[in-house]
Amino acid sequence: MESNVDNLLTIQRAQPAPPCTVVIFGASGDLAKRKLIPSLYNLVACGEGMMPAKSAVVGFARREMSIADFRKSAHDWTTRFSRLKVDETCWANFADSLDYLSGLDRPDSFAKLKVKLEAIEKARGIPPNRVYYMAIPPEAIPESVQRLSEAGLIYKPDAPHFSRVVVEKPIGHDLPSALEVNRVLVKYLDESQIFRIDHYLGKETVQNLLALRFSNSIFERLWGNRNVDHVQITVAEEEGVGSRAMYYDHSGALRDMVQNHILQVLCMLTLEAPVSLNSAAIRDAKLNVLRSLRPITPKEARANTVRARYSAGVDADGKPVAGYMDEEGIAKNSRIETFVALKTYIDNWRWSGVPFFIRTGKRMKRRASSIYVQFKDVPQILFNRGSKVPANGLMIRIQPDEGFSFDVMTKRPGLDLVLQPVRMNLSYNAAFGAGASPEGYERLLLDVMDGDHTLFISAQFVEKSWEFVQGILDSWSDGANVPIVEYPANSWGPKEADELIGTAGRVWHEP
């Protein structure tokens, strides 16, 4: 499928944001290494000057490190993890903007941060606009925000310059803790200054859901219970828990994936047309989906949810891998799941009666995130009288091969009337070139600098999503109600997940 470059329609062109200083809390951690520093470099190196001119990046962490060592480490991280090859001339300019301050955990560290920021802004000739990125454990965020405020590092929302705080998921461990995190945030910050980030919303395919639906009348008119039989959302990870064992064994798949990433995708897929493309309108439309999401009660949990964890087996290369309970750092009495499957409904006018099947897990057959929309069968007349004609299906691939495909029936060439499924396919890489899609963090970081909340999560969304998930967690608190089952590594999950969708007369579609 080719794109028509002569018929481009630009709705909103990204412009460089105002100059600012980005302070990365936890700058020596995994998130900064793999995502934040490479993404900031890419915003400079993309050739479009999207990184605000003269802006600075300050690493702020507990670890002792010189500025020179931080810059060298940042170069190593970017070389390894950036989607773009490092251009040394461009890197030299970017490295000049990097600075570092150690002692995040010390009593005087925030006072020192204020002095450093003022010195950097004076030296670079930029206004005191600041972005504070909390790449630190969730439990450390409330204290850090409080200390920022006490050090005079947070402006009032109507000040001539901005101060913005980026908060990573998970926001809370359950509904009560999420409410407490939001309470602390709004105590020291205005809601306009808070950016709750979910990098899934920065992915091109997730953003394209709005364009696919509302700029193509063919899809929007089919979108709902009159034509859709059911929807499947799959987020499969090939790797195990790895170095995240300590975090994961207190979280699990339901908290780690369903409460944030998957519910975000579900809302983008099913929302009603927002009144405009501004952030408030899109946030309201997503929130209305959560308000319509049918709760899963304890009585329904066994029939509508599956919880499982992977057992020992082999990976995709045939190498032996340990089961979850034998991974380093996992508690011997762990009750945490690495796989979740569930069936739910959206009880509104458009989607009433359409089942939504969700599954996510680690150590699955391969890495793949996708949405599969299966349309209703054609009537049992004409072609569908003698043998069943496969239903049309729309596959939206979020990763790794971003794009979408549509399965339709056609006549096979020849003298006989034989039907055959044909796939109409769009691959982002094929249509627009490999590497054309920016990383999710690149888009989201730029939006923070620009003050655009469209792709960020509101406090209400956090709370409503936790309400839905909390009902499932409560149902699972009694291990006998929904027991943890096992599935072999390098599979698509346990047989119970197949039974879950099978009792509804459907089967999982391989992503």
* 509 given a catalytic annotation: no
CB hemisphere CA count around 289 (13 angstroms): 23
Written as one letter, the residue type at 250 is H
Q: One of 75, 199, 261, 453 is an active-site residue; which one?
A: 261
Distance CA 317, CA 242 (A): 17
* Residue of 310, 347, 302 whose CA lies nearest to 326: 310
- What is the total residue count of the chain? 511
DSSP class of 508: P
Long-range pairs of 382-390 with CB within 8 A, sequence gap ≥ 24: 383/409, 383/419, 389/419, 390/421
Query: Under 8 Å CB-to-CB from 19, ≥6 apart: which residues?
Result: 52, 53, 54, 55, 126, 127, 129
3-state SS, 384-396, equals HCCCCCCCCEEEE
Q: Is residue 94 helix, strand or coil?
A: helix
Contact predicate 358/308, CB 8 Å: no
Contact 363, 238 (CB under 8 A): yes
Q: Specify which residues 309 forms β-bridges with.
A: 486
- The pairing of strands 419-427 and 403-411 is antiparallel
What is the DSSP track for 17-31? Answer: PPP-EEEEETTTSHH
Query: What positions carry a catalytic annotation?
Result: 261
